[in-house]
Amino acid sequence: MKALIQRVKNASVAINGKIFSKINSGILVFLGVEKADTKENAQKLADKILKLRIFEDNTEKMNLSIQDIKGEILIVSQFTLCGNCAKGTRPSFDNAAKPEIAKDLYEYFVNIVEQSGLNVQTGKFQAMMDVSLINDGPVTFWVEK
């Protein structure tokens, strides 16, 4: 399971030109589910993201987690994170989980994050989405479990 996370001032998902979900200060999570991923991977990744200290304290050091600042989280499924660009010029998606499996693990991941008590919003699985964000920093991390 792979996640590209970005610290944001705000972020939103629009579908067919209409806002589907939005957050203020927090984290935008792009989540990719691979064939070998399990609920254990989802649990570990969610725990890591919730505890990752990527927000500045009063001394401007990254010492605070999303939970510490009571920020918001937007989780967007993105199977292209599972693309392999090593050979040729067309990405291979052989490692991406089948949609029905990926959806279950995506929803499981969302449920774990929701248990944090933070405001959690999502995109729509398998929808064509327009994602807008203002990256804070910019701060962007690649996390895998």
Any idea which residues carry the catalytic annotation? 78-80
Q: How far apart are CA 115 and CA 102, in angstroms?
A: 20
Listed residue (124, 24, 12, 141) closest to 77, CA to CA = 124
Contacts of 68 (CB under 8 A, 6+ apart): 53, 55
